[in-house]
Structure 1
Amino acid sequence: MTLFHRRARYGLAAAALACAPLPAQASDKGWDDAGTITRDALMIAAVGVPVVKGDWQGLLQAGGSIGATKLLTYGMKEAFPEWRPDRSDRKSFPSGHTSTAFAAAATLQNRYGWEIGIPAHVAAAFVGFSRVQADRHHWYDVVAGAALGEVTGLLITSKQNDRVQVVPWAGRDGGGVALAMRF
């Protein structure tokens, strides 16, 4: 990896976090705007990193991950109508902002590693927090959106470096994440 690619990688991660400012005022609108900006920055990073790296397979996977997450989210909103906390409509479950943010973060993590994945997940968690603070979602809408985005991102995106794999698993008695390393 060239010095340019390393700097671009970390620069995009830093840009995503820099776009996640705390709202200037603790109003519903301020939280809503901050969450939206952060979600958009994560989506730009998820497609921007592959473009900078010339990783066209990664770009297709990022688009597929985010697109599939959006389709599943909107389908669930129709199947499970739930009032938003502010009673504006019945599209609360699951949180679309959160599912999209976590799909982007999981894509970055799974494709390029923890160096970009951890900051992306911190930003995605902020998106979920902002949605509750903005009174647009219940906490369980955000948890469901995060799970949906994370699973979709992990299932659709493959590692660029296959020496380390993080695999989610679930069974009758629980679930978790398995870490496999090849030496």
Structure 2
Amino acid sequence: MRKTKFLAPLLLACGLFSNNASANSGSELSSDVITGVVPIGAFAYAYFTDDEEGQKQWLRNTLANQLIITSARVAFNPSLGKRPNGGKYGFPSGHVGFVTSGASFLQERYGWKLGVPAYMLSAYVAAQRVRDDHHHWRDVIASGVLSFGIAKLFVTPQGATYVAPAIGPDFIGMRWERSF
């Protein structure tokens, strides 16, 4: 597999977050950097382990997550969108949605060994966004829950095995499925 096939989304995301992060300072800068590092690191892990299916799932998960979070921000702006600092489009948090999409991808695809540290970084970003008066707790919690649920729909575990009962009009049995 050529290593350049999926680099365009990675480079685009790096460019977007480097511009955003340069406008802030201190702890705000650290949360902005982490917001980009976790999802981009998730893609890099899939990329450098030659997990082509994982790269596709990362892209689908990230696009679906950003589309749903952005749509919710626009839809809820008149009612829940006011930020503690007076800004608009606060509910749900875009930063927390993006970082949690990466954490959820890592946990769903590769397990808790990668997921737990990524979720801890997501929690740091969420707490920082609330502490800096960019969001209410409801904004960051809603983003985390949405991103987790979206990953459940779009990401499958690597090498997963599923066993399920199969019941039909003429048979009763077990169905076995393995991801490769």
Measured against the shorter chain, the TM-score band is 0.7 to 0.9
- Cα deviation 1:41-100 (Å, max 9, x = unaligned): 10111110011100011011111111111111110111001111111x320000011111
Quick one: which amino acid aligns to residue 151 of structure 2?
G
Paired residue for 1:33, among 13, 29, 32?
Answer: 29
User: 2: distance between equivalents of 1:58 and 1:122?
Assistant: 22
Paired residue for 2:120, among 119, 122, 127?
Answer: 122
Matches within 5 A, 1:55-94: 55-81=51-77, 82-87=81-86, 89-94=87-92
Give the Å deviation of 1:31: 3.2
Quick one: which amino acid aligns to residue 132 of structure 1?
V
Larger radius of gyration: 2
User: 1: distance between equivalents of 2:150 and 2:108?
Assistant: 11
Corresponding position of 1:149: 147
Quick one: which amino acid aligns to residue 151 of structure 1?
G
TM-score of the pair, normalised by structure 1:
0.71
- Long gaps (5+) in structure 2: 1-23, 163-177
Q: Is the 8 A contact 1:84 1:91 kept in 2?
A: yes
Quick one: which amino acid aligns to residue 110 of structure 2?
Y
Aligned identity (percent) is 31
Q: Larger relative CO (CA 8 A, sep 6+): 1 or 2?
A: 1
- Cα deviation 1:123-180 (Å, max 9, x = unaligned): 111111111011100000000000011111121000102148xxxxxxxxxxxxxxxx
- Cα deviation 1:84-121 (Å, max 9, x = unaligned): 1111x320000011111111101001101111111111
Give the Å deviation of 1:39: 1.0
Corresponding position of 1:43: 39
TM-score of the pair, normalised by structure 2:
0.72
- Long gaps (5+) in structure 1: 1-27, 165-181
Paired residue for 1:107, among 96, 100, 105?
Answer: 105
Q: Matched residue pairs, number?
A: 138
Corresponding position of 1:174: none
The root-mean-square deviation of aligned C-alpha atoms, in Å, is 1.9
User: 2: distance between equivalents of 1:163 and 1:121?
Assistant: 25
